[in-house]
Amino acid sequence: MTNLVELISLVKQLPESYIPEALEKIREIKERSDSEEETTELECISCNSQNVVRNGRKCRKQAYLCKECNKSFVSTSQSAIQNSHNGSAVWRQVISDTVAGVSIDTTAANLDLHHETVFNMRHKILYCIEQSFIVNPTMLAGVCETDETYVLENVKGNKIPEDYHRKPRKHGAVASKPGISNEYVCVCTSVTGDGKNVAISANRATPSSQKILEIFGERVNEETVVLCDGTQSYNILEDKCRVATVKKNNKVNGFHSFIKERLRAARGVATIYLNRYSALFAKIYDADKSIVDDIWKMMTVQNGEYNTIPYTQSEKLLNV
């Protein structure tokens, strides 16, 4: 999805005398797209009635009125992008950049948007993906490789208080203590043979049996075979599935490498957002190009998943 970036780049390179002509052409295209939107058959988001008529414009979008329940709405009402001032092309580009691991600053520069705008758009995307996994947990069917990886705690974007348990460190620094300590956040992961992935953080240092049960207990059944490295904590799953010990878990180790590579490229992510990014990594690991379309459909479905920017920035954050 690079056409939008190319279009913006070309417009920036146009001689000043050609700007009015280019602007007129773009306006014509916008009017044509608006007319096509107006003729699209819609259903009321409240009562599913098709007795819907146009009802002026709201926030530069065509508004509709249901003649059955008298409710007014626009095409993005009750979706994750409700009240957004950016069109589908911008949202799809931000989704594409998020999947590809493009930095927020690069996306903002390419789309001529403010850093904070892209930050908020990205976290709406991450929040929506994480919520989809919470509502519909990934079930681990058949043989699945399960293990944990560890990510250094990160307070990126915040100033460390004086009474914090450690001193500030620069990007690329290592933990002050050797081995697995409370400076590391545990990410419990699992990869199945049919390409389903789980990545969830629950605590610092090594996970307890209770945390293993909390994360994987509802995702396994009697037909599941959990392959692990022999960590005793996984034995708590034996009442729900079969647990076996293996020397190598190549699939899940590949997933770990993917997570570490993406975090390294981003110069780390704040620990409070780690589960959101983990959900993204689970969604896109080994996925094909259609993943952008899948996420876009998730963002635009009118199922009441709308949330404000303050809500996205403050709710359901990882607190360990």
Task: Look up the CATH number of domain 138-295.
Answer: 3.30.420.10
- Are 52 and 43 a contacting pair, CB within 8 Å? yes
The whole-angstrom distance between residue 169's C-alpha and the CA centroid of its chain comes to 27
pLDDT of 61 strictly over 80: no
The CA distances from residue 84 to 37, 61, 175, 207, in Å, are 17, 10, 41, 40
pLDDT for 41: 66
Which two structure tokens, joined as six digits, stand for 116? 């904070």
Which two structure tokens, joined as six digits, stand for 150? 């560890």
Residues 6 or more apart whose CB falls under 8 angstroms from that of 284 comprise 99, 291
Strands 143-152 and 184-192: antiparallel
pLDDT for 40: 59
Give the pLDDT mean for 162-187. 82
DSSP states of 37-82: HHTS----TTT--S-EEEEEEETTEEEEEETTT--EEETTTTSTTT
pLDDT of 39 strictly over 60: no
One-letter amino acid for residue 5 of the chain: V
pLDDT for 311: 83
pTM of the model: 0.85
pLDDT of 304 strictly over 80: no
The CA distances from residue 64 to 30, 71, 151, in Å, are 19, 8, 48
pLDDT digits 0-9 by tens, 185-203: 999 999 998 889 999 998 9
pLDDT for 35: 67
Torsion of CA 313, 314, 317, 320, to 10 degrees: 130
pLDDT digits 0-9 by tens, 235-258: 999 999 999 999 888 999 999 999
CA distance 65 to 70: 6
Name the residue among 10, 66, 61 with its Cα closest to residue 33. 61
